[in-house]
Amino acid sequence: DIQMTQSPSSVSASVGDRVTITCRASEGINNWLAWYQQHPGKPPRLLMYDASRLQSGVPSRFSGWGFGTDFTLTISGLQPEDFATYYCQQAKSVPYTFGQGTRLEIK
Amino acid sequence: EVQLLESGGGVVQPGMSLRLTCEASGFTFRREAMSWVRQAPGKGLEWVSTISGSLDSTYYADSVKGRFTISRDNSKNTLFLQMNNLGVEDTAIYYCAKDARSGGLVLDYWGQGTLVTVSS
């Protein structure tokens, strides 16, 4: 199975800040990576797919980068609604696996 | 508007069975792969199972293989998850999700989830 490891597990930031979350795969997954956002008590929301493609309706302050084993999600100019938990997920092979999540908190 | 509505969750004892249902609308259901993803209380996301639109392919996480069966009724736009021999480790919110494309898992629409609690 492909293991997905996110860092940090949690991060504190202020409105307007820029934050980067890292996701590392245990083996190469090309660009088969998706990012999701989840607010407490809500289902996940797709943000990015194919590592760097923005899902329709997602603000352009979200950006993704990476190929192979190392990936990042960057949020530029944090807004209050961005404080949530973020998950990466490899889409290359079964069993599909998620990272453990990164909780983005208000400083 | 795409809508996914799960039902069938509840409290059951270990070893019992439960069948989850997801009613879909707002898209051509038969064309799209569908998946179940679960989330244990306070924990992260875990992919459970995926079924292709044409019903010819199903995939399972090792943790549920042999106990859970995913199926769909394309005539009724409905997805199912039959869960047998449930254990306490299966306690979670179960989300139904639509796959954005065939090949790889990219889940672009999610239901609100249904809670399954396995407890004696």
Q: pLDDT averaged over chain A?
A: 97
Q: What are the pLDDT digits (tens) for A27-68?
A: 999 999 999 999 999 999 999 999 999 999 999 999 999 999
**Residue A54 Cα, gap to closest chain B Cα (Å):** 12
**Given pLDDT bands bounded at 50, 70 and 90, which one contains residue B103?**
confident
With beta carbons under 8 A apart, name residues in chain B contacting A1. 62
CB under 8 A, 24+ apart: contacts of A65-71: A66/A23, A66/A31, A66/A33, A67/A30, A67/A31, A68/A25, A68/A28, A68/A29, A68/A30, A69/A24, A69/A25, A69/A26, A69/A27, A69/A28, A69/A29, A70/A22, A70/A23, A70/A24, A70/A25, A71/A22, A71/A23, A71/A24, A71/A25, A71/A33
Q: Which of A43, A45, A96 sits opposite B47 (nearest CB)?
A: A96
In chain A, whose CA is at the least distance from the CA of B39? A43
Position with higher pLDDT, B102 vs B38: B38
Going along chain A, which residue ranges are E strands? 4-7, 10-13, 18-25, 33-38, 45-49, 53-54, 62-67, 70-76, 85-90, 97-98, 102-106
A32 to chain B, any CB pair closer than 8 A? The answer is yes
Average pLDDT over residues B75-83: 97
pLDDT of the residue at B54? 80
Q: Do A55 and B108 touch (CB under 8 A)?
A: yes
Average pLDDT over residues A19-34: 97
Q: Do A96 and B46 touch (CB under 8 A)?
A: no
Percentage above 90 pLDDT, chain B: 93
B56 pLDDT higher than 80 = no
Place of tokens 């859970």: B68
**Given pLDDT bands bounded at 50, 70 and 90, which one contains residue B101?**
confident
C-alpha torsion sign, points A45, A50, A52, A54: negative
B104 pLDDT higher than 90 = no
pLDDT of the residue at B62? 97
pLDDT of the residue at B53? 87
Q: Do B45 and A45 touch (CB under 8 A)?
A: no
The partner residues of A13 in beta bridges, in order of sequence, read A106
